[in-house]
A and B are shown apart, each in its own frame.
Chain A
Amino acid sequence: MVAQPNVRLNLANTAENVVVVRAVLAGVAESVGVDTEDLGDIRTAVSEACNNVVQHAYEGQRGPLDVTIALSQETIEVAVRDRGIGIGEHAEEDPSLGRGTGIGLHVIRTLARDARFDEPPGGGTRVRLTFAARGTRPAGEGVAGGPELDLTEMPNYAAAVSIAPVGLAKAIVPRLAVALAARAHFSTDRLSDVQLLSDAVADHAVKAVCDRHVSFGILAQPRDLELRIAPLALGQADGLVRASQLDGLGRVIEKLVDRHHILAAEAHETLALSVLDPRSR
């Protein structure tokens, strides 16, 4: 069964980003009621697959690490994909012949109910892991395409994620943004503000997006994090900021960010929110 993924996460293949993948998995698991023991097994196996991409996919060079998550009743499917050297014809029988997964492969085969390796169209290698996960609820209809925000050409790009249904963003974006802000040397003080901002944005995005999915892009550099949200209906980027108005407190989003701007395309808008932490050092 090939379900449309509910989450599509695009990262670079750095060791630090494996932590980001794990944070996203935890957020997803929490929101659909996965048993914590099962989550531990899932995180262990997925980490092995990601570490393999970090260490072997690009022969020491940088390249994309793409992770998708599909949720159905009592089942989670996680696919980890690279765009690097293929695994060759031995893929199904023993991918470790193609490149060294070593005992990582044994770990994956032990913890996942099913593990399949293939070379999808477009090149690279994909491992598709299926986990039986007690308590898991289907999240709803998945994502058809990739993230609207193709950040791969931006120098400071940290992560792009596409999520459907939009309501699932509340479980994912705060964890993702906090993990990246921590890496960008944010103080715990401002880290919390990033979390509050992500909460607000994910919550208000439900009404502001013009599609069945929502995409977030995060650019991170030291003490500076930018969160982008798309695709928003025309006029809704500003609407999303206004919607964060709480009586007596003002527009929460405006108070939490240092600056924001709107990128308009023909059919939709992107909202870009920047949080700085100049005091941190």
Chain B
Amino acid sequence: MASGTTVERASKQPGDTHGANESLGELFVRWQQRGDSSARDALVQRFLPLARSLARRYDRSSEPFEDLLQVASLGLLKAIDRFDPVRGHSFPSFAVPTILGEMRRYFRDCGWSVHVPRGDQERALRVRNAQETLANERGHAPTVNQLAEYLELDAEQVLDALQAIQAYESLSLDAPRPGSEDEGVTYGDSIGGEDERFELVELDATVVAALEHIPARERAMLHMRFVQDMTQTEIAARVGLSQMQISRLLRRSLDQLRALTRDSPDAG
């Protein structure tokens, strides 16, 4: 499971124990009323684990942890400045909303939406490349756990990346292929070169209207998977794409075919 969802027990959180409250109060007085920065440093030291814990929980898996921690720490400083010990609340009950608020504000307002898809996309590329590497080494497709171990990610991050691969149309076509010496050679190029071979795959004579709406390349893949009963890895090797590419194209083509079949007058 994602490390970001791990829960620490309340008792491990500094400041929650009653015995520490008194000296905490003194530290806040020293910092807030006398500007004693050594008191603030002491408070930061005590509550940094809280900021760290929130950074791990914050569900933005593609953001580097260091960045999350930095923003969480900034939120912690603000909370230390603003906390009013006289009101009788515990510091964590005040600090958690302050820190989360800082993180939300930062990642919503400061280019989060520009930054994140790139992080997702980079990870998706790493997962795709690792999938090909492991499949080539071992002669069969790896499991999600094997990918996670190889890439030092957790299984959920790999699953999210697999989902992202299906979402990014451009991913496959614009990125250099793993192991290709010439970085200028992309999937787009290799697809162009494969077209003739696709045409050579013989389709059943019974192929009818719906299939004709599907591009020749996808039609050939569907035929290999469902008529010749080839695995996706075998198809990938045959046509020079990654298995994840095959997966995405098969999924999309089947969706299209079902929609076409549904819409045709003799459906049902």
Interface string of A193-222 (1 = CB under 8 A from B): 101100110010000000000000000000
A15 within 8 A of B: yes
Contact B261 A106 (CB under 8 A): no
Contact B54 A196 (CB under 8 A): no
* Interface residue from B8, B60, B247 paired with A40 (Cβ < 8 Å): B60
Contact B8 A252 (CB under 8 A): no
With an 8 Å Cβ cutoff, the count of chain B residues facing the other chain is 72
Query: Known: A41-B104, A200-B258. Is A249-B223 also a contact (CB below 8 A)?
Result: yes
A11 within 8 A of B: no
Contact A110 B5 (CB under 8 A): no
| Chain B hits for A200, CB < 8 A | 254, 258
* Interface residue from A188, A247, A252 paired with B143 (Cβ < 8 Å): A188
- Give the distance in Å from the alpha carbon of A109 to the alpha carbon of B101 in the complex: 12
Contact B142 A187 (CB under 8 A): yes
B45 within 8 A of A: no
| Chain B hits for A179, CB < 8 A | 159
Contact B92 A103 (CB under 8 A): yes
| Chain B hits for A182, CB < 8 A | 143-145, 155, 158-159
Residue of B nearest to A22 (CB): B156
Contact A250 B227 (CB under 8 A): yes
Contact B57 A48 (CB under 8 A): yes
Contact B7 A252 (CB under 8 A): no
Contact A248 B207 (CB under 8 A): yes
Contact B204 A248 (CB under 8 A): yes
- Give the distance in Å from the alpha carbon of A276 to the alpha carbon of B137 in the complex: 23
The smallest C-beta distance from A239 to any residue of chain B, in angstroms, reads 10
Contact A196 B57 (CB under 8 A): no
A270 within 8 A of B: no
A153 within 8 A of B: no
Contact A100 B11 (CB under 8 A): yes
The smallest C-beta distance from A111 to any residue of chain B, in angstroms, reads 7
Contact A189 B258 (CB under 8 A): no
Contact B140 A280 (CB under 8 A): yes
| Residues of chain B from 205 to 237 with CB closer than 8 A to chain A in the complex | 206-211, 222-223, 225-227, 229, 231-233
Contact B53 A51 (CB under 8 A): no
Contact A102 B8 (CB under 8 A): yes
B131 within 8 A of A: yes
Contact A101 B231 (CB under 8 A): no
Contact B142 A188 (CB under 8 A): yes
A191 within 8 A of B: yes
| Chain B hits for A189, CB < 8 A | 140-141, 231-233, 243
B244 within 8 A of A: yes
Residue of B nearest to A170 (CB): B255
Query: Known: A199-B254, A199-B255. Is A255-B226 also a contact (CB below 8 A)?
Result: yes
- Give the distance in Å from the alpha carbon of A246 to the alpha carbon of B156 in the complex: 33
Secondary structure dominating the interface of B: helix
With an 8 Å Cβ cutoff, the count of chain A residues facing the other chain is 57
| Residues of chain B from 43 to 98 with CB closer than 8 A to chain A in the complex | 50, 53-54, 57-60, 92-93, 96-97
The smallest C-beta distance from B128 to any residue of chain A, in angstroms, reads 10
A136 within 8 A of B: no
Contact B207 A196 (CB under 8 A): no
B250 within 8 A of A: yes
The smallest C-beta distance from B158 to any residue of chain A, in angstroms, reads 8
Contact B50 A103 (CB under 8 A): yes
| Chain B hits for A37, CB < 8 A | 104, 107-108, 112
- Give the distance in Å from the alpha carbon of A196 to the alpha carbon of B254 in the complex: 8
B13 within 8 A of A: yes
Contact B207 A100 (CB under 8 A): no
* Interface residue from B144, B206, B251 paired with A248 (Cβ < 8 Å): B206
| Chain A hits for B125, CB < 8 A | none
B6 within 8 A of A: yes
| Chain A hits for B175, CB < 8 A | none
A10 within 8 A of B: no
Contact B144 A247 (CB under 8 A): no
A139 within 8 A of B: no
| Chain B hits for A175, CB < 8 A | 163
* Interface residue from A48, A100, A248, A250 paired with B203 (Cβ < 8 Å): A248
| Chain A hits for B13, CB < 8 A | 102-103
B100 within 8 A of A: yes
The smallest C-beta distance from B7 to any residue of chain A, in angstroms, reads 4
Contact B159 A178 (CB under 8 A): yes
A233 within 8 A of B: no
| Chain B hits for A41, CB < 8 A | 59, 104
Query: Known: A15-B1, A178-B159, A250-B226. Is A192-B250 also a contact (CB below 8 A)?
Result: yes
Q: List 5 A-B contacts (CB under 8 A).
A: A41-B104, A51-B7, A192-B244, A196-B250, A246-B210
Task: Please list the residues of chain A having a beta carbon within 8 angstroms of any beta carbon in chain B.
Answer: 15-16, 18-19, 22-23, 26, 37, 40-41, 43-44, 47-48, 51-52, 55, 96, 100-104, 106-107, 109-111, 175, 178-179, 182-183, 185-193, 195-196, 199-200, 203, 246-250, 252, 255, 279-281
**What are the 10 tightest A-B residue pairs by CB atom distance, in nearest-first order?**
A102-B10, A106-B96, A192-B247, A187-B141, A189-B141, A182-B144, A248-B207, A44-B59, A249-B226, A110-B97
